[in-house]
């Protein structure tokens, strides 16, 4: 299967080696449909400000990724001139844009606690260091390993789960002295949130991968490719330390 994304770049389901198993493709399709179905039903049955914010922000992020894909012939040749550097810059820009989008929907619907802060600049201060490090490490790994589209969708859910599900949903509440029911938290994360939030990180990961595909194919990495896939998760530890220090500094103002 080949996705033609212009004269500068093509993404093939075989571009990173062996074609993914068909069952994995179906896992992605069913998982995405399941996540969006649960999100829609939950919002329709309980249209609270927070649910409306989450639904609108997630679906808008997914539509933004789709828009980038449909307009790729216009912007991809420009970014393909310096693919590694511009893939990073584009991924970081999209991260800031999506974070601002969540903030804007929260203000519009009157929600709370969805964005990192009610102040957009403080929101970016709290979240962008994670996005910047994650995007840099992802592009570095993607440039070496050229993961297929199926794997990229899984990585979108994985990186989101690590940042928002583990650090934001479990570690930070625990540090703050708030108990977290781990069984419930992990069940929700693995079976619902992982699939719901893939469209959010798709705006960061997929466009950067399309740009990277314009670079010459490198030699196979000297290590197993799963290490490149998991590399961005290594940034969670220093990011957590940063987050704690910033929150302490804010709390002492």
Tens digits of per-residue pLDDT, 138-166? 999 999 999 999 999 999 999 999 999 99
What residue spans of 46-147 are helical by DSSP H?
49-70, 72-79, 83-109, 120-145
Specify the pLDDT at position 15. 41
- Cβ(163)–Cβ(130) below 8 Å: yes
Specify the pLDDT at position 18. 53
Specify the pLDDT at position 103. 98
pLDDT per residue, tens digit, the chain (253 aa), is: 333 334 334 343 334 445 667 889 999 999 999 999 999 999 999 999 999 999 999 999 999 999 999 999 999 999 999 999 999 999 999 999 999 999 999 999 999 999 999 999 999 999 999 999 999 999 999 999 999 999 999 999 999 999 999 998 888 888 887 878 888 889 999 999 999 999 999 999 999 999 999 888 877 767 788 899 999 999 999 999 999 999 889 875 5
Q: Which residues contact 123 (CB under 8 A, 6 or more apart)?
A: 99, 100, 103, 115, 116, 117
Specify the pLDDT at position 20. 65
* Integer Cα distance of 156 and 202 in angstroms: 6
Specify the pLDDT at position 122. 96
User: Domain locations in the chain?
Assistant: 2-6+17-251
* pTM for the structure as a whole: 0.88
Q: Which residues contact 248 (CB under 8 A, 6 or more apart)?
A: none
Report which of 76, 70, 78, 55 is spatially closest to residue 6, judged by C-alpha positions: 76
């Amino acid at each position: 299967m080949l996705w033609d994304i212009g004269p500068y770049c093509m993404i093939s389901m075989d571009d990173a080696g062996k074609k993914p198993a068909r069952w994995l493709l179906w896992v992605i399709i069913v998982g995405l449909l399941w996540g969006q179905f649960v999100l829609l039903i939950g919002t329709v049955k309980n249209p609270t400000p927070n649910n409306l914010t989450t639904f609108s922000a997630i679906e808008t992020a997914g539509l933004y990724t789709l828009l980038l894909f449909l307009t790729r012939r216009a912007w991809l040749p420009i970014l393909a001139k310096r693919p590694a550097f511009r893939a990073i810059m584009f991924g970081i820009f999209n991260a800031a844009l999506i974070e601002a989008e969540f903030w804007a929907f929260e203000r519009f619907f009157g929600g709370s606690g969805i964005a990192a802060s009610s102040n957009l600049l403080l929101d970016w201060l709290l979240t962008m260091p994670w996005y910047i490090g994650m995007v840099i490490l992802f592009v570095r790994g993607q440039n070496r390993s050229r993961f297929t589209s199926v794997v990229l969708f899984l990585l979108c859910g994985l990186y989101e789960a690590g940042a928002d599900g583990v650090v934001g949903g479990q570690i930070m509440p625990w540090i703050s002295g708030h108990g977290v029911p781990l069984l419930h938290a992990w069940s929700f994360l693995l079976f619902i949130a992982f699939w719901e939030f893939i469209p959010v990180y798709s705006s960061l990961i997929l466009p950067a991968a399309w740009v990277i595909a314009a670079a010459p194919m490198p030699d196979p990495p000297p290590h197993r490719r799963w290490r490149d896939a998991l590399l961005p998760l290594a940034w969670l530890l220093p990011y957590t330390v940063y987050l704690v220090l910033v929150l302490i500094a804010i709390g002492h103002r």
